[in-house]
Chain A
Amino acid sequence: MDVKSAIRSPKAFVYLAVFVLLLPLANFLSPYQVMLLEAGITLGISALGFNLLLRYTGLLSFGHGALFAVGAYTVGMMYKYFPALYSIEILIPASIIVSMIVAGIFGYICVRHTFIFFAIITMAVSMVIFTLLLKFYHFTGGSDGIHIELPTMLGTSYTGIKRFEFLSGPYYYFLICIFAVCVIVMQGIVNSPFGKTLQSIRDNEVRAEMVGIRVKRYRWYAFLVSGIFTGLGGALYSFINGHVTPELAEWIFSGEIVFMTLLGGFMIFEGPIIGAILFTYLQLYLTSWTEYWQFAMGVILILLVLLLPQGISGGVADLYRKLKKSKTREIS
């Protein structure tokens, strides 16, 4: 499929339809619902990045929370130290650059390893970032974190405006557009020669090396791209939450990123996005439903892994295939 036929493919129509449906949604949902959806979308962008490593490169990172935190803290630090530059047109590129640099160092250390060792070392490196954010409180605000002010957007200042108005107004449209760009770019990446290269590495590292692929280097590239998406998600999330804390870099949150990706189904491109949005709603409804939400979450997770190994999207695809089969059987 080249670019032209990709644009004309049924998938592109579905994407366009979803985009068109999403655009006016902010007018129909309560501000609170909009906020949830936005949080889900930002987590979805991050999970998309995470899945470039898991699905397409075969590396399970247990430290992506730290990259998310890097993106989010970039926004906070910019306000703290460069308030004059606190506009979203600068913040987004800044967080991309900072995420890229951190992911570059992070990844350089980690890509020498695979399998469980990769999971362990990403966890260890992310905990270095977590403890640095926690302990250097003069610089990072320590466990209190940093408050995130509303940024200027296209020259308009939003100071004095309530956060939810900002979120269900201009920020919503901005976020949906960024989201669309992210999905298209990532879709492009996984179908590009680069994406095919990563899949070859995932599939058979030895052979990949023997067809001239520099395996470690490409893993590192994948880590960079993955880190950029995850960090960008973190930056976008910070405005919604209004506050960033070191917990974002802790391994528990990294685990949640793994959870949402597998919840949605990591073998399908859109799975992580679906998973992230579902996760956001699930977490919220569980916490408001029972004080034992953690227990419920744990049980759901265990059941998911046991009963729905392909995640929600994989389960639906399976069901669809079965239905189709039984239908064709009826006809014949």
Chain B
Amino acid sequence: MLEVNDLIKDFGGARVIDSARFRVEKDEIVSLIGPNGAGKTTLVNLISGHILPTAGQIKFFHHDITSAPPYQRIKLGVARNFQLTNLFDASSVLENVRVCLFSVYGKLSKMLLPADHYKEITQEALNILEIFDLADKKDLYPTALAEGEKKILDSAMAFALKPTFLLLDEPTSGVATNNKFKVMDTIVSALKKEKIACMIIEHDMDIVLDYTDRVLVISEGRILASGNPREVMDQADVKEILFGIEA
């Protein structure tokens, strides 16, 4: 469903993404791994339309979304979270999720009735918070949440956009270690239930191995390897890049 062709992104003189080429298929959960500065987040920024590429092409189903504005990509079903949590700090937790739903249902410009009048949408926002275990925090402001909860809320907002393809940039960073797998269980079961394809940036190799169908290895802006997580991780060159182990 997602097809990235020879994607290039230059920042100043530096080539951050260098002829990246890969596909993500329907219902697939792919992990994107690589050392710091390899271009992982830049790739997410490019696919979500946060920044535009220097050259190359991004296709989603049969649409060319290379230079489409973010709102069009979201309409087509591409949503993302942020690695460094990026929330609406002056709105309640519920409000954070609900505005995403207003966006999906095309209600953003409704100015005659109060937001609370849209009971079904409010209920749906509550349901999403329920799934992500944030329902009892719905009236708090994000600043009052723990780091890990903020992170989860960030993912919940991306989920609320009802994507068919979700980009998750380190969804468990900041989440307490003993809670990481629970969070991943929640996310993955929600993905499976709604049949959402997903690309997850992750540092934790256990999560990569346990939760993802396929792994993409990126280094210095190039996609080096793609395939079954266990097989790819055994490759000597991948080991060297990821762990600095000389083969």
Residues A204 and B116 in contact, CB atoms below 8 Å apart: no
Complex alpha-carbon distance, A192 and B107, angstroms: 10
- Known contacts A206-B50, A212-B70, A213-B108; A193/B102 CB under 8 A: yes
Complex alpha-carbon distance, A130 and B5, angstroms: 53
**Mask: chain A, 204-217; 1 = CB below 8 Å from B; 0 = not:** 10111111111000
Residues A218 and B115 in contact, CB atoms below 8 Å apart: no
Complex alpha-carbon distance, A277 and B133, angstroms: 47
Our pick among B82, B102, B115 for the contact of A207 (Cβ within 8 Å) is B82
Which one of B26-34, B93-101, B224-232 contacts A?
B93-101
Residues B87 and A194 in contact, CB atoms below 8 Å apart: no
B residues less than 8 Å from A165 (CB atoms) = none
Shortest CB–CB separation between residue B79 and chain A, in angstroms?
A: 8
Complex alpha-carbon distance, A204 and B154, angstroms: 13
Complex alpha-carbon distance, A3 and B89, angstroms: 26
Residues A212 and B161 in contact, CB atoms below 8 Å apart: yes
Q: Nearest residue in A to B107 (C-beta to C-beta)?
A: A193
Residues A202 and B90 in contact, CB atoms below 8 Å apart: yes
Shortest CB–CB separation between residue A96 and chain B, in angstroms?
A: 15
B residues less than 8 Å from A202 (CB atoms) = 90
Decide if A16 is an interface residue (CB 8 Å cutoff): no
User: Which residues of B, 61-87, contact A by the 8 Å Cβ criterion?
Assistant: 69-71, 74-75, 80, 82, 86-87
- Known contacts A211-B161, A212-B70; A196/B113 CB under 8 A: no
**Mask: chain A, 1-24; 1 = CB below 8 Å from B; 0 = not:** 111011000000000000000000
Give the size category of B's interface with A: 35 or more
- Known contacts A188-B112, A193-B118, A214-B69; A203/B88 CB under 8 A: yes
Decide if A238 is an interface residue (CB 8 Å cutoff): no
Residues B115 and A195 in contact, CB atoms below 8 Å apart: yes
A residues less than 8 Å from B80 (CB atoms) = 210
Shortest CB–CB separation between residue A270 and chain B, in angstroms?
A: 17
B residues less than 8 Å from A194 (CB atoms) = 108-111
Residues A218 and B89 in contact, CB atoms below 8 Å apart: no
Our pick among B48, B75, B91, B107 for the contact of A203 (Cβ within 8 Å) is B91
Decide if A51 is an interface residue (CB 8 Å cutoff): no
Our pick among A1, A211, A225 for the contact of B103 (Cβ within 8 Å) is A211
A residues less than 8 Å from B193 (CB atoms) = none
Is the contact region of chain A dominated by helix, strand, or loop, or is it mixed? Answer: helix
- Known contacts A3-B114, A188-B113; A210/B90 CB under 8 A: no
Complex alpha-carbon distance, A283 and B108, angstroms: 40
Our pick among B87, B104, B114 for the contact of A192 (Cβ within 8 Å) is B114
Residues B110 and A207 in contact, CB atoms below 8 Å apart: no
Complex alpha-carbon distance, A195 and B118, angstroms: 14
Our pick among A191, A199, A212 for the contact of B75 (Cβ within 8 Å) is A212
- Known contacts A211-B100, A212-B70; A204/B114 CB under 8 A: no
Complex alpha-carbon distance, A194 and B69, angstroms: 20
Q: Nearest residue in A to B81 (C-beta to C-beta)?
A: A210
List chain A positions with a Cβ less than 8 A from chain B.
Answer: 1-3, 5-6, 188-189, 191-197, 199-200, 202-204, 206-214, 218, 221, 225
Q: List 18 A-B contacts (CB under 8 A).
A: A6-B114, A191-B114, A193-B108, A193-B110, A193-B118, A194-B108, A196-B98, A196-B102, A204-B89, A209-B50, A209-B71, A210-B74, A211-B74, A212-B70, A212-B161, A213-B99, A214-B71, A218-B108
Closest 6 A-B residue pairs measured CB to CB? A212-B74, A194-B111, A212-B103, A2-B117, A191-B114, A203-B88
